Structure 1
């Protein structure tokens, strides 16, 4: 959760499993002014468009009884892979000194996936987290939500 206002020059990552907005606060904690620094998007079609085969079946043994095997959720795997890619981008940016403070905003599942891949250098710069999906909100709405 965000305990205090977002300082000047703090970066804000607003991400979900398919889109990431890298914002920078050019205002202060009371009057934030987020500017877009980078946008990353991933083309991740639904699983039904990515799978090549029908779900498998397996014998339950003995009789002619068979059970279905759940198909791989390619769409969900794509989201997890994107979270890992975002974590890698953050590491490269932090290593180059692009930001000193970072706020991460993402849905709970993506936030958890990203945490698994964040380098210690990035973790040390995180000053706040919010488990919420704001990627499809306009920047001024993101400012209002994070300022509240």
Structure 2
């Protein structure tokens, strides 16, 4: 956490696979005052049966019995698609507001998707990344957690 720094007027992206917050720091790195600039949510069905109804496929093997293929994880696909949308929206927001510095807080799996989807330009502005899931905390609590 020592390399994480959220300067004055920096934008913090806090997200997971279903919700994203764009938070602006109106305070200092040691005492951040975060305000919500934008919030994005996705409405993903809670049950896999609502997302896909087909059974996993099977493959035949000339040397032995047929074997089952792994079932498609529709939740993971939906989360990754949402995170790619978040990155595109975040980049557009940063360009529109002329944001010079950003930081990211997301669970490790989401952070990996974000890194893959973000442009080099955006990641070049990144002053820190936290592999933490803060998206469901109150904004004041997020400010306290990133100041530690």
Q: Distance in 2 between matches of 1:102 and 1:83?
A: 16
RMSD after superposition: 1.7
Q: Which runs of 5+ in 1 are unaligned?
A: none
| Divergent runs of 4+, >6 A | none
- Matching of residues 66-77 of structure 1 within 5 Å: 66-77=66-77
Q: Which runs of 5+ in 2 are unaligned?
A: none
The superposition leaves residues 104-147 of structure 1 with CA deviations (integer Å, 9 ceiling, x where unpaired) of: 00111111111111112211211110011111111111111100
The TM-score normalised by the length of structure 2 is 0.89
The superposition leaves residues 39-80 of structure 1 with CA deviations (integer Å, 9 ceiling, x where unpaired) of: 0001122423201212222333366x3322212111100111
The superposition leaves residues 72-95 of structure 1 with CA deviations (integer Å, 9 ceiling, x where unpaired) of: 111100111111111111221232
Q: Contact conserved, 1:94 with 1:121, CA < 8 A, in 2? A: no
Offset at residue 29 of structure 1 (A): 1.9
Aligned to 1:53: 54
Name the SS of the counterpart of 2:134 in structure 1: coil
Shifted more, 136-145 versus 41-50: the winner is: 41-50
Q: Distance in 2 between matches of 1:87 and 1:77?
A: 15
Q: Cα gap change, 1:145/1:88 in structure 2, threshold over 3 Å: closer, same or farther?
A: same
Q: Distance in 2 between matches of 1:5 and 1:127?
A: 6
The TM-score normalised by the length of structure 1 is 0.89
Name the SS of the counterpart of 2:146 in structure 1: helix
- The alignment covers a number of residue pairs equal to 147
Q: Cα gap change, 1:104/1:4 in structure 2, threshold over 3 Å: closer, same or farther?
A: closer
